[in-house]
Structure 1
Amino acid sequence: LKLEQLNVKTAFLHEDLEEEIYMTQPEGFVVVKKKHMVCKLKKSLYGLKQAPRQWYKKFDAFMINQKYRRSVVDHCVYIREFSSSNFIILLLYVDDMLIVGHDCQLIGQLKKDMSKFFDMKDLGSTQQLLGMRIVRDRKAKILWLSQEKYIEKVLSKFSMKDAKAVSIPLAAHFKLGNEQCPSSTDEKERMENVPYASAVGSLMYAMVCTRPDLAYAVGVVSRFLSNPGKEHWVAVKWILRYLKSTSKYCLCFGESNPEIQGFVDADMTGDLNSRKSLSGYVFTFVGGAVSWQSRLQKCVALSTTEAEYIAATEASKELLWMKSFLHDVGLSQKSFVLHCDSQSAIHLARNLAFHSRTKHIDVRYHWIRDVLEERLIQLEKIQTERNPTDMIMKSLPKEKHDMCRDLVGMTAFKA
């Protein structure tokens, strides 16, 4: 497959507006005799809430006119099949585009057609995308996604390049809660000088893109963004120290069968303050993680079975979306399996009867029973030792954490 990247210059400035919008005369361009008048916009501007929508509508109309089919499950993905084995898939992210296809001539023709309508910048073969480095070994059919340079910039920004490295994202001795938040005015003023929110935001971007091993740790420290304390900042610096020791780790794809594999887990009363449980899932494709989440549940679970049951329902929704997306791009898979390490939660999902201990569970979570009955997905048992979701649920010993990291396709990249 060929991977080509393009960028649209000043994407938001070319679209027509549907509403009448007026603005004050820009500074430095005020007409002396007409200072009391305003300007009527003919085209959209950066900063207008209509600008992104108008840009998308114009681009969407162009792609439909080029006989591309908009994906039903993701409206920023466009597909065109030229034959059973020849196709082009275009992915749009604001003004960045990624084109995937076999035929260089067809890709080149699409680039020419777009250049006639938009001011395009052809970036050639994709090597860097949204801060992620893409490395391919065509002979071995392996692809790596790395954020090593981004992580090095983050470490330099927060003066952690020379800090002592650690081997796990968050040590078990961190018991973070609201009682550690500053209460006095002096403490709050001291913490205002600490770049807590900026550091957590930087960590979150790495976690979302290529680092599922950070999901639990970043989720914990992000709960205290409004009023962080000294202990919370120490935990953030610990995560940065972990990043220093694992900056070369990246996601690796291509070392297994092209099938979606799902894993789900829950941590009972994972939040010390609200006592809500933590739900988490990881989905892998061709050996690497493609989707992951670690999030507090919306209600307090009364048992581990209930917590696991709710987590399985949330993961099932993601699996169904991925199933639809695979079918939309022309890939087939015999069965879509979600692995859960709770036998009681699996029995509860398969058994349509209501019990005295489970009748209080919100009706929305029983949706998984219909999904299983219609055989849209399968819910299977997996041993806890083989469930990589443990990594995004709690603090683990180094050996168990490294094993989970390997299961989701994270390896140290060597150029």
Structure 2
Amino acid sequence: MYLMVGTRPDIAYAVRVVSRKLENPTDHDWTRVKRIIRYLKGTLDTGIVYTKGHESGILRTFSDADHGGDETTGRSTSGVVSLYAGGAVSWISQRQCSVAISTTEAEVVAASEGAREMIWLKRLVAELTELKQTPVLYVDNEAAIRLAQNPEYHKRTKHIKTRHFFVRELVSEYEITVEKIETENQIADVFTKALHKPKHLLMCKRLGMDFSFSKFNEEGRY
């Protein structure tokens, strides 16, 4: 948990899954924990790289949801990650507090979490440097994007709790913008489900993670 919160966003989803059984773990749960430890042992030199001058003053956030991914409760998983200076600065992988009856609702809930995280980071970054553009929230669900940009209260979405439309208010006030991103480029996907190794490594690279720190160890700079 300490590693996941501090420097290892690549294990956020796995740690969240095993954390469900903290009170009464089974042998299968211990096997999952051992797999995480083996993965960490094989990637001891891994870290997040922040590059000076890389997209300076630009804050980007990605939000995604895995609809009904928790088979036990039927709840969806929200994944949020914010990038600055070429690396992840904030990330979230958490089970939603209520059951979403549609993919759109799950995506709206995740987008709301992403928007709140973005506003906090926007204020923090603004105290350190000047933002060059309005922060962008990337979502891969067109229906969720339309709800964020359209003030109409659609019949099919009236069951969604009002607090989840926080992102719509931010868009209307020009605090953030919401843009469409293709699913294969949705970085937050790594926080909502287990991915195959090639895609997992690709998403880690886009998070700004570098698996080749051994040279820094040899030179005594890390």
Pairwise same-fold verdict (TM > 0.5): yes
Aligned with residue 95 of structure 2, among 293, 296, 302: 296
Aligned runs of 1:132-171 on 2, under 5 Å? none
User: What displacement does 1:249 show?
Assistant: 0.8
Aligned with residue 385 of structure 1, among 184, 193, 210: 184
| Equivalent residue letter for 1:365 | H
Inter-partner Cα distance in structure 1 for 2:208 and 2:110: 23
- Say whether residues 1:364 and 2:163 are aligned partners: yes
Inter-partner Cα distance in structure 1 for 2:155 and 2:134: 33
Q: Which residue is equivalent to 2:149?
A: 350
User: What displacement does 1:356 show?
Assistant: 2.3
Q: Which residue is equivalent to 1:173?
A: none
Mean Cα deviation higher: 258-267 or 211-220: 258-267
Q: Which residue is equivalent to 2:40?
A: 243
- Say whether residues 1:394 and 2:193 are aligned partners: yes
Inter-partner Cα distance in structure 1 for 2:155 and 2:130: 43
For each residue in 1:210-234, what CA deviation from the matched residue of structure 2 results, as whole angstroms up to 9, or x when unmatched?
Answer: 1000000000000110111111000
Structure (1 or 2) with the larger CA radius of gyration: 1
User: What displacement does 1:389 show?
Assistant: 1.0
For each residue in 1:142-194, what CA deviation from the matched residue of structure 2 results, as whole angstroms up to 9, or x when unmatched?
Answer: xxxxxxxxxxxxxxxxxxxxxxxxxxxxxxxxxxxxxxxxxxxxxxxxxxxxx
| Equivalent residue letter for 1:355 | H
Inter-partner Cα distance in structure 2 for 1:399 and 1:410: 14
Q: Which residue is equivalent to 2:14?
A: 217
Aligned with residue 307 of structure 1, among 106, 109, 120: 106
Identity of matched residues, %: 44
Inter-partner Cα distance in structure 1 for 2:69 and 2:2: 23
What TM-score comes out, normalization by structure 2 length? 0.92
User: What displacement does 1:319 show?
Assistant: 0.3
What TM-score comes out, normalization by structure 1 length? 0.50
Structure 2 residue matching 1:253: 3-state secondary structure: coil
For each residue in 1:52-95, what CA deviation from the matched residue of structure 2 results, as whole angstroms up to 9, or x when unmatched?
Answer: xxxxxxxxxxxxxxxxxxxxxxxxxxxxxxxxxxxxxxxxxxxx
User: What displacement does 1:274 show?
Assistant: 1.1
Q: Which residue is equivalent to 1:229?
A: 26
Inter-partner Cα distance in structure 1 for 2:21 and 2:169: 38
User: What displacement does 1:362 show?
Assistant: 0.7
Residue-pair matches, total:
212
Inter-partner Cα distance in structure 2 for 1:236 and 1:275: 23
Q: Which residue is equivalent to 1:409?
A: 208
Q: Which residue is equivalent to 2:70?
A: 271
Aligned runs of 1:7-406 on 2, under 5 Å? 204-254=1-51, 256-258=54-56, 259-406=58-205
- Structure 2 gaps of 5+ residues are 217-222
Structure 2 residue matching 1:333: 3-state secondary structure: coil
Structure 2 residue matching 1:360: 3-state secondary structure: coil
| Equivalent residue letter for 1:253 | Y
| Equivalent residue letter for 2:21 | F
Inter-partner Cα distance in structure 2 for 1:221 and 1:387: 24
Inter-partner Cα distance in structure 2 for 1:393 and 1:340: 14
Inter-partner Cα distance in structure 2 for 1:362 and 1:324: 26
* Residues 64, 107 of structure 2: 8 Å contact kept: yes
- Structure 1 runs of 4+ with >4 Å offset: none
User: What displacement does 1:390 show?
Assistant: 1.1
User: What displacement does 1:369 show?
Assistant: 1.2
Structure 1 residue matching 2:156: 3-state secondary structure: coil
Larger RCO (CA within 8 A; separation ≥ 6): 2
User: What displacement does 1:268 show?
Assistant: 0.6
User: What displacement does 1:304 show?
Assistant: 0.5
Mean Cα deviation higher: 238-247 or 290-299: 238-247
Inter-partner Cα distance in structure 1 for 2:166 and 2:191: 25
* Residues 139, 180 of structure 2: 8 Å contact kept: yes
Inter-partner Cα distance in structure 1 for 2:109 and 2:131: 28
Inter-partner Cα distance in structure 2 for 1:331 and 1:227: 49
User: What displacement does 1:335 show?
Assistant: 1.5
Inter-partner Cα distance in structure 2 for 1:402 and 1:318: 25
For each residue in 1:232-284, what CA deviation from the matched residue of structure 2 results, as whole angstroms up to 9, or x when unmatched?
Answer: 00000011111122111111001622221111100111211111100111111
